[in-house]
Amino acid sequence: MSNVQIMDHPLIQHKIGIMRVKTTSTKEFRDLVAEVAMLIYYEASRNLKLADKEIETPLVKTTVKEIAGKKLCVVPILRAGMHMADGVLRLSPNAKVGHIGLYRDEKTLEPVEYFCKLPSDAADREIFVVDPMLATGGSAIAAITLLKRRGIQKIRFLCLIAAPEGLKKLQEEHPDVDVYIGALDERLNENGYILPGLGDAGDRIYGTK
Ligand code: PRP
Ligand code: URA
């Protein structure tokens, strides 16, 4: 079964608390998405392998560490994942970026794919899929299925808020994917929204509602 980490860091809890407030402005919300994503990525990247590298400081030769082996790739699920990707890129600026466009059909709640563009060497990279909300799990499962069909194997999934229903489904469908969650909420409502949640992440980031 996959490894699931629910963040208990005070900074993450504090910032997600501000995001939940309905009067938080679009700008502040957007900034917080990137900040919290960066903090979650800090944990999600903890087990990346290191290698030694010989360098010269201004004084002497020495050995330092650098991230070894596979290169990195962040894959935001559009639209709302974009600002999480910005946070990840602040810490790993050389990571490549793939995009998967999915939206939830408002009636069926099923994900509809409309875009996919990945780096040509994505299968050789460690992949961090990012999306603020894991609700029914449909979008995350569809995105990860699509990546696996393209030969991508090492996948981590990062979200700000998850519902227990979506987390269970994601673990059943993709037990090999490690999941990093900012906050695990209570449940879904009858419209597939997370409670207490923060509303529609895409609309709050882009001010579209
Ligand atoms: C939101 C969110 C996830 C999805 C989660 O996106 O960003 O992608 O819903 O729901 P699920 O777990 O039930 O699939 P949305 O479909 O609203 O699209 P948007 O990002 O373009 O607003
Ligand atoms: N998508 C969102 O943006 N918010 C939810 O609560 C559920 C799905």
Tell whether omega for the bond before 196 is within 30 degrees of 0, i.e. cis.
yes
Task: For residue 145, count other CB atoms closer than 10 A to its CB.
Answer: 12
> Could you report the per-residue pLDDT of 161-201, keeping only the tens digit for each?
999 999 999 999 999 999 999 999 999 999 999 999 999 99
CA–CA dist 61, 128 (Å, integer): 34
Q: Which residue minimizes the CA distance to atom 3 of ligand 2?
A: 200
> Could you report the per-residue pLDDT of 128-159, keeping only the tens digit for each?
999 999 999 999 999 999 999 999 999 999 99
Q: Among 169, 200, 209, say which to mutate for ligand 2: greatest number of ligand atoms within 8 Å of CB.
A: 200
Q: Which residue minimizes the CA distance to atom 21 of ligand 1?
A: 79
Question: What pTM, to 2 d.p., does this model score?
Answer: 0.96
CA of 121 to the centre of ligand 1 (A): 27
CA of 3 to the centre of ligand 1 (A): 23
CA–CA dist 140, 33 (Å, integer): 18
